[in-house]
Amino acid sequence: MAKNYDSSSIKILEGLEAVRKRPGMYIGSTDKRGMHHLIWEIVDNGMDEVINGYGNYIKILINKDGSITVADNGRGVPIGMHESGKSTPEVIYTVLHAGGKFEEGAYKVSGGLHGVGASVVNALSEWMTVTIYKEGKISQIKFNEGGKVLEPLKEIGKTNKTGTIVQFMPDKTIFKNCNFSFTTISERMQQSAFLNPNVTIEIIDEEDNLQAKYHYEEGIEAFVKYLNENKNPIHNNVIRFENEKNRIGVSIAMQYTTSDSEIIESFVNDVKTSDGGSHEVGFKSGLTKAFNEYARGNGIIKPKDSLDGGDLREGLTAVINVRIPEDLLQFEGQTKGKLGTPEAKNVCDNIVYENMKFFLEENRETALSILEKASKAKEAREAARKAREAVKNNSKNKINKEKIISEKLAKATGRDYIHNELFLVEGDSAGGSAKSFRDKEHQAILPLRGKVLNTEKASAHDIESNAELRQIEYAIGAGLGETFDYKESNYGKVIIMTDADVDGSHIQILLITFFYKFMRPLIENGMLYIATPPLYSIETGKKGEKEYISTSEDLEKRRQELGDKPYKLQRFKGLGEMNPDELYETTMSPKNRRLIRVNLTDAALAEKRIHVLMGDEVAPRKAWINENVDFTLEDDFRK
């Protein structure tokens, strides 16, 4: 195996400074997502041991006091003295960029954030305790106040085991919501278990008495089956192959279904690459080349014809996991969302082409079924394109569209779509207020009447038959489904603006489902937003100066600041209760408004989540809501 993992493996690159001042630079945000990122950083260290063959078990505890415990049975953090004069665990957990990943040979491949993880988690915690099982000893070191040593490393017992246990409490002054989600942790850990067939991962929530254990001997083959569990496969057996070339290991599992959606989940050293990269490009090109060569060779298409890669991937669910040594690993940008390693493209292309060429020759019936589906996809795409062009060129259709749009839409006069915004507003009353006080050059208003159609299982025909959704489609003007082209959108931003209540949230979900199913590139290109109107206004002073407050928590803080000073409080029950100038200044003006961008970070998870929340089965939806939604005494559903 690799050389010994001891104190000499740890290299210090720089000190732990500014993490508490700018936590977003290190973990992305200080919301629930950022707080869960703390767990991923510690788990990644344990997974690096697993990947390199030194462990097979990870346990995560959500403790009753709100802290998190992560335990692994790897080699254990080195416990000797570091060349800096400090104990090695103190260096690892207090110095940024200190870790075994910087010493050549300590790890063959690594998935963590290059050694910053452990120290960043410590910096953003009220306290942390690290217990190490190594060299026959149980050693422990304790920290508090964001990384200060409370108790230096000391021996507390004897053992014949190896491993590391880290327990930490997120700092409540940094994180707004310190409640960990069992579902979020379980989904992430299940994914890790799929990628590593030799690991067992256990999650226990001591507060809510929940537990889960994941172990998949079939690995990514089981991952594909999991992603396709609500779909109809074209072929029963998952296509699976793996190989290594030029020190890059490639594992791929894939299966075609009757669905029209394409799902590709890609990973590098177990780190999810949400934005794809060179390995995905290689996978797609190798797949397209193999299918087209087979189709020409068997007289399915003419020698000079070819099937488009998108058509060949319709209904495909694939999982790609590549292992790349540290010296070859390159990512584009500061996040690890997109692989840049050039060698990965050629390696993936060659491995996919060679294996798929063999598979197609040996599985003629499956090959013909997939090619038949691709041919139909091509025909449907070309028919949709021709129909779209016909609609564009048909003056009668143009008149009908204009009539439908003009019934409600207040257009923006500006012709530069990037700077134009479409507000989808709940109710005619709020729509009227928004129309009367807006930036007419850049802001268009489309009022919506009631709740729109749940499109989780809808077809394009259903959309055309629904007045509200048809108006949205025509207003945006970029097509629908396969014909949608975000570059042709009449607006650079589409903003959902609803009341800050349960009904408003429901309308948001219904609209997001619609955009996800029929205009997904709008989300993928960061063009869909949710407006956040204030809940309260407070008038203070003799002149009646008005300020707006977004949350109940902020209101309570403001009340405490005001003390005995007189003030007038107003609770906005809906957008229609606000004066037009108030609505513009607080919710529509680019100077003052707060917009939430709708992001798509995990297409496969989004697909499954929408099926749970918007589908017909009640039990899974109820279970998810009970685990993820915090109900308070203020929530009165009898009204």
pTM of this prediction?
0.75
Mean pLDDT value across residues 413-431? 89
Coil, helix or strand at residue 456: coil
- d(CA 56, CA 72) in angstroms, rounded, equals 8
Would you say residue 629 has pLDDT above 70? Answer: no
Mean pLDDT value across residues 174-195? 89
pLDDT on residue 637: 34
Q: What is the pLDDT of residues 505-514, one digit of tens each?
A: 888 888 998 9
Would you say residue 5 has pLDDT above 70? Answer: no
Residue 512 near residue 497, CB atoms below 8 Å: no
Would you say residue 604 has pLDDT above 80? Answer: no
CA-nearest of 523, 530, 479 to 500 is: 530
Mean pLDDT value across residues 430-453? 88
| CB-based contacts of 555, cutoff 8 Å, min separation 6 | 535, 536, 538, 549
Q: What is the pLDDT of residues 390-411, one digit of tens each?
A: 655 665 555 455 555 556 889 9
Q: Which residue has the higher pLDDT, 497 or 481?
A: 497
Region of residue 265 (left: phi > 0; alpha: psi -120 to 50; beta: else): beta
Q: Which H or E run includes 30? A: none
- Tell me the residue type at 254: M
pLDDT on residue 13: 41
Q: Which residue has the higher pLDDT, 566 or 450?
A: 566
DSSP conformational letter for 586? I
Q: What is the pLDDT of residues 244-268, one digit of tens each?
A: 999 999 999 999 999 878 899 999 9
First to last CA, the chain: 66
- Tell me the CATH number for domain 395-533+596-600: 3.40.50.670
Coil, helix or strand at residue 156: strand
pLDDT on residue 221: 97
Mean pLDDT value across residues 456-482? 82
DSSP bridge partners of 443:
421
Name the pLDDT band for 612 (thresholds 50, 70, 90).
low
Name the pLDDT band for 577 (thresholds 50, 70, 90).
confident
Residue 107 near residue 141, CB atoms below 8 Å: no
Q: What is the pLDDT of residues 10-48, one digit of tens each?
A: 554 444 557 877 777 777 788 888 899 899 999 988 988
Q: Which H or E run includes 84? A: none
Q: Which residue's structure tokens are 């109107």?
A: 533
Residue 42 near residue 191, CB atoms below 8 Å: no
Name the pLDDT band for 609 (thresholds 50, 70, 90).
low
CA-nearest of 87, 63, 70 to 164 is: 70
Q: What percentage of the chain carries pLDDT values higher than 90?
A: 45
Name the pLDDT band for 519 (thresholds 50, 70, 90).
very high
Residue 242 φ/ψ, nearest 5 degrees: -150, 150
Mean pLDDT value across residues 582-592? 91
Mean pLDDT value across residues 101-124? 63
Residue positions annotated with a catalytic role: 426, 499, 501, 503
Cα–Cα distance list, 516 to 232, 293, 520, 521, 609 (Å): 21, 34, 5, 8, 12
Residues in the chain: 639
Q: Which H or E run includes 520? A: helix 520-524
pLDDT on residue 427: 83
Cα–Cα distance list, 593 to 48, 466, 506, 586 (Å): 43, 31, 22, 5
CATH number 3.40.718.10 given to 220-384: no
CATH number 3.40.50.300 given to 7-214: no
Residue 82 near residue 10, CB atoms below 8 Å: yes
- d(CA 452, CA 529) in angstroms, rounded, equals 17
Mean pLDDT value across residues 592-601? 84
Would you say residue 102 has pLDDT above 50? Answer: no
Q: Which residue has the higher pLDDT, 58 or 429?
A: 58
Cα–Cα distance list, 280 to 81, 137, 328, 349 (Å): 43, 45, 17, 9
Greatest C-alpha distance within the chain: 86
pLDDT on residue 15: 47
Mean pLDDT value across residues 223-247? 93
CA-nearest of 75, 69, 90 to 150 is: 90
When the pLDDT of each residue in the chain is averaged and rounded to a whole number, the result is: 84
DSSP string, 263-284: EEEEEETTEE-TT-BHHHHHHH
Q: What is the torsion angle, in degrees rounded to the nearest 10, for the CA atoms of residue 410, residue 416, residue 418 and residue 420?
A: -20
| CB-based contacts of 601, cutoff 8 Å, min separation 6 | 274
Our CA angle for 585, 438, 578, nearest 5°, is 50
Residue 75 near residue 7, CB atoms below 8 Å: no
Alpha helices (H) along 308-454: 309-312, 342-362, 364-393, 395-406, 428-436
